[in-house]
A = this chain, B = another copy of it.
């Protein structure tokens, strides 16, 4: 009996454990101090009313003989896939059809499971700093990783590396953790590079709904992307589904590599190892894409976007270098005074009671940087920025 020994090579991440430990120590030492958490990546606003109503309706249907739903299609119900396809066509202006779309229980599942389709003998390009799931899921399979350095020079938006071969390429835009967002020109360069390498771009669009400027929200807005990309999206941030669980993955039906159809392979993978998303959750998800549901989502997003604006204004006023915040709930700042990420974490907590996330937790290139998020309440965000100004003016 042999286990998968790649698991022994995984680095344990103590990032959020260490954060929580330090916060608990601080709270004990300063019981009078109100701690403000601007480190979390989880939403705080409840589901919009129309979406909750659809969810409740779906749950009620499961209790009645005439409306009960048993096993559904593994790739999701057509009523939801068609709504998402129209969203791509009408809102994002990307060429995606219902047949390309697979409903998932969240982007994290599909980002991990998609690797079932690829051989271990592939070279994988991964940005640094990065969402750790891309790194860990490939380390579990023992693939070769090449890290793309993101830094101030490239605006934390690494471009195709000259002379570097690639088979799989991870891109996330708007980016987690930096909040940086690629332009059309930059993504076009990536698509051209992927085509030249016969590579596949695994594009994480989980934060697309935060884009307000004229920037791409989907890799499929870029000509040629249907021949070289798979996109993962989620309702976690768009509609507050972090605890309700629904996302979608787009695998263009014509996408081929190495003599195989990736769409047919993914369908086979999902029909074999997945039984579809809960019917009432899909009912709720479909409501996201109605005018009423989307208006509710936009109202929640506006709260987070306003928080991001408040943080960005303060950082600008203080002369702190940062990216993100405009088309993203994340702000990625250079630690003042040349401090390391953890030294600034400690100083910020001590001086202001604000909790953020040390950039070094997302990769070596994150050292010296720090992530703040816009998912708090407006009152807390304002109070935090008042304290920040007082401490760092």
A42's nearest neighbour on chain B, judged by CB, is: B70
Per the bound structure, the CA–CA distance linking A68 and B269 in Å amounts to 33
Closest residue to A111 on the B side, CB-wise? B273
CA distance A8 to B261 in the complex (A): 10
Q: Are B52 and A117 in contact (CB under 8 A)?
A: no
A268–B52 touching, CB < 8 Å:
no
A260–B198 alpha-carbon span in the complex (Å): 37
Q: Which of A243, A260, A276, A279 has the most CB of B within 10 A?
A: A243
Decide yes or no whether A392 CB sits under 8 A from chain B.
no
> Do A62 and B243 touch (CB < 8 A)?
yes
- A272 to B136, Cβ gap below 8 A? yes
By a CB distance below 8 angstroms, the chain B residues around A116 are 4, 140
CB of A223 closer than 8 Å to a CB of B: no
User: Which chain B residues border A273 with CB–CB below 8 Å?
Assistant: 108-109, 111-113, 133, 137
Indicate if A60 sits at the interface (CB-CB under 8 A). Answer: yes
Q: Is A149 an interface residue (CB 8 A)?
A: no
Q: Indicate the size class of the contact surface on chain A.
A: 35 or more
Evaluate contact between A60 and B71: CB separation under 8 angstroms.
Answer: no
Q: Report the Cα distance A113→B116, complex, angstroms.
A: 10
**A188 at the B interface (CB under 8 A):** no
Q: Is there an interface contact between A3 and B262, defined as CB atoms closer than 8 Å? A: yes
Does A155 interact with chain B (Cβ within 8 Å)? no
Q: Are B3 and A117 in contact (CB under 8 A)?
A: yes
Q: Which residues of B contact A378 (CB under 8 A)?
A: none
**A245: nearest residue on chain B (CB-CB)?**
B278
Q: Which of B65, B197, B240, B269 sits near A45, CB closer than 8 Å?
A: B65
A binding-site residues for B, Cβ under 8 Å? 1-5, 7-8, 10, 42-49, 51-53, 55-56, 58-60, 62-65, 67-72, 105-106, 108-109, 111-113, 116-119, 121-122, 133, 136-137, 140, 167-168, 197-200, 240, 242-245, 257-260, 262, 265, 268-269, 272-281, 284
8 residue pairs, one from A and one from B, having the closest CB atoms: A52-B63, A112-B273, A2-B119, A69-B243, A42-B70, A46-B68, A55-B59, A70-B242
Q: List 12 A-B contacts (CB under 8 A).
A: A3-B118, A7-B268, A46-B64, A49-B63, A56-B60, A59-B59, A62-B244, A113-B273, A133-B272, A133-B273, A137-B272, A244-B279
